[in-house]
Amino acid sequence: MPQAYTHTFDTPLYKGSVTINIGLFIDGKWVDPVDGGDRIDVVDPCTGKVITSVVGGTSKDVDIAVAAAEKAYKTSWGLKVPGSERGKLLAKLADLVEQHGDELAALEALNVGKPFHMAKMIDIMTITVQSLRYYAGWADKIQGKTIETNENKMAYTRHEPYGVVGAITPWNIPIVTLKIAPLLATGNVAVLKPSEVTPLTALYFADLVNKAGFPPGTVNIINGYGSTVGDAISRHPSIRAIAFTGSTLTGRKILKASAESNMKKVALELGGKSPTIVFDDAELDQAIKWASGGIFSNMGQGCVAGSRIYVQEGIYDQFLQGFKKSAEVLTDATGGPFEPGAQHGPQVSSLQFERVMGYINSGKTEGANVLIGGERQGNTGYFIKPTIFTEAKADMKIMQEEIFGPVCSVVKFKTEEGKQVTEWANNTTYGLSANVLTTNVARSIRMANNLEAGSVWVNSGPVVDMAVPFGGFKQSGNSKEFGQYALDAYTQVKAIHINIGQRL
């Protein structure tokens, strides 16, 4: 049996100890990998030092987890359990997450490096608790239709679960409920792989699943690398669907694995290169705040990060001056997740640090101007100063590729007419989200309709709502999170034809 991992925090924001198990969670129990498994180091991004290690599984462990999940689906979950009962358990799980919000937020802050108060307010209390409660409400409302055809036939549809569903979650917001909540609400069972970079919250969450009373095998969590556990989940013949959030490159690999195995349903939420468009008539102070939050929150490590900022020429200089000040404030408020006043933390890993610095160096080499930042901060950990480029050209790497760090480019444009700024905004392979800042209602609607993005925020930053679908166009994905639309990823439609009159 793997040993528990305990970490004690001694900070002004959070005091106490958090205990997690570092093993594999299969059939409601903590177990060791069948072949001993790898030891995967978990690193504190503020120091670059290992804080613990978790055990990693293999394809053999995925096989065992799938078998446990199949048994649970057939005997104690799925269509055998009414939606109202599934909803009660999800609601109870939401209550437990809320009760243990400090512990979950502390683990996430430690593991990702984001400020504790942000981890608790956004990731735990908003995203996690709300997603569980929202889909708890949906669990008994998953309905088909009665379809009129002719007087000799009755036809209706059923929205049925797939059974065993694989889920692979990202490292930037590692809490797993965005997949788990709709997956369980629809009657499916899960074999889930958390990111090997940030596994701690998923492991703590597993014990809450047991405390809530879910049948053993309903949720199984397998630590491991993408090349082993992730690939095994993607190819497993008894996993009928898979939901993934992460990079476009990995999304392609999952699609290929599905095609080469059992053609499982694949729901992807992938990368982005989101534009923020600021018009002359925008409320300047608000526009600066929304644009700053849109790129620098979570240290730029978000798929919706507004890394291309287009500002109309009439307010360009004023905007740039205020935007630079917002970056300076964050630079001064850089620190560890439990430091009072910290607003900006490190990149999640040395790999991500080097990746972001590589993009910064690329921007410099290709001729863009660094207005502020453009370098690491301090000598310890993976901190990068908030970075603003100007004079960037559309074909530069920093304008075309997802950086996933606190780096953006500010570009001047003339007018809405001629759709120049719209064409610039749409000029990427991505289409996840966009932001439009203007007080002209007609313009905001025109722009929103013309932008190639799955979500458009007007006079706002990328603030999600559980009732509103979220997901991308183009290479940003093929599915939706949130809202009723998310249920489509976890249900299959059966059509039933009943002859009620015709005789041969």
Question: Which has the closest alpha carbon to 376: 403, 346, 396, 404?
Answer: 346
Domain formed by 275-465, architecture: 3-Layer(aba) Sandwich (3.40)
- pLDDT value for 37: 75
Determine which helix (DSSP H) or strand (DSSP E) holds 433, and give its type and residue range: strand 433-437
- pLDDT value for 3: 74
Q: For residue 457, list its beta bridge partners.
A: 435
Q: Compute the distance between CA of residue 248 and CA of residue 255 in angstroms, rounded to an integer.
A: 11
Q: Compute the distance between CA of residue 332 and CA of residue 72 in angstroms, rounded to an integer.
A: 52
Q: Report the chain's mean pLDDT, rounded to a whole number.
A: 96
- pLDDT value for 180: 97
Q: List strand residue ranges (DSSP E) for 137-238, in order.
A: 146-147, 153-161, 164-168, 189-193, 219-221
Q: Compute the distance between CA of residue 142 and CA of residue 504 in angstroms, rounded to an integer.
A: 36
Residue with tokens 């301090």: 378
The mean-pLDDT minimum among 13-27, 42-56, 330-344 falls in 13-27
In the chain, the N- to C-terminal Cα span, in Å, equals 65
- pLDDT value for 213: 98
Whole-Å CA distances, 67 to 63, 79, 203: 6, 18, 20
Rg of the chain, C-alpha, whole Å: 24
Strand 387-390 relative to strand 369-372: parallel, antiparallel, unpaired? antiparallel
Length of the chain, please?
Answer: 504
Structure tokens given for 172: 């930037």
16: confidence class by pLDDT, cuts 50, 70, 90: confident
Hey, how many other C-beta atoms are within 10 angstroms of the C-beta on 12? Answer: 9
For residue 239, is pLDDT > 90?
A: yes
The HSE-up count of residue 91 (CA atoms within 13 Å, CB side) is 11
Judged by DSSP in three states, 501 sits in coil
Cβ burial of 179 (10 Å; 0-12, 13-18, 19+) is buried
Question: Which has the closest alpha carbon to 395: 369, 416, 424, 418?
Answer: 424
For residue 8, is pLDDT > 80?
A: no
Q: Compute the distance between CA of residue 48 and CA of residue 54 in angstroms, rounded to an integer.
A: 17
- pLDDT value for 242: 98
Judged by DSSP in three states, 40 sits in strand
Q: List strand residue ranges (DSSP E) for 291-368, in order.
A: 308-312
- pLDDT value for 9: 67
- pLDDT value for 459: 97
Structure tokens given for 175: 């809490």
- pLDDT value for 297: 96
For residue 236, is pLDDT > 80?
A: yes
Q: Compute the distance between CA of residue 239 and CA of residue 162 in angstroms, rounded to an integer.
A: 8
**Active-site residue list:** 269
CATH class of 4-270+480-492: alpha beta
Phi, psi of 457 (to 5 degrees): -105, 130
280: confidence class by pLDDT, cuts 50, 70, 90: very high
- pLDDT value for 38: 84
For residue 500, is pLDDT > 70?
A: yes
Average pLDDT over residues 267-291: 98
15: confidence class by pLDDT, cuts 50, 70, 90: confident
Average pLDDT over residues 93-120: 95
**What pTM does this model have?**
0.95
- pLDDT value for 163: 98
Average pLDDT over residues 266-273: 97
Cα 44 → chain centroid: 21
Is the separation of the CB atoms in 223 and 230 below 8 Å? no
Is the separation of the CB atoms in 5 and 22 below 8 Å? yes
Is the separation of the CB atoms in 261 and 254 below 8 Å? no
User: Which pLDDT tens digit goes with each residue over 390-415?
Assistant: 999 999 999 999 999 999 999 999 99
Q: Compute the distance between CA of residue 219 and CA of residue 173 in angstroms, rounded to an integer.
A: 19
Instruction: State what percent of residues in the chain have pLDDT above 70.
Output: 99
Structure tokens given for 88: 């009660």
Is the separation of the CB atoms in 375 and 356 below 8 Å? no
Phi, psi of 156 (to 5 degrees): -150, 165
Q: For residue 192, list its beta bridge partners.
A: 167, 221
Structure tokens given for 187: 């009657």
- pLDDT value for 40: 96
Domain boundaries, given as residue ranges, for the chain: 4-270+480-492, 275-465
Instruction: State what percent of residues in the chain have pLDDT above 90.
Output: 93
Structure tokens given for 9: 């925090």
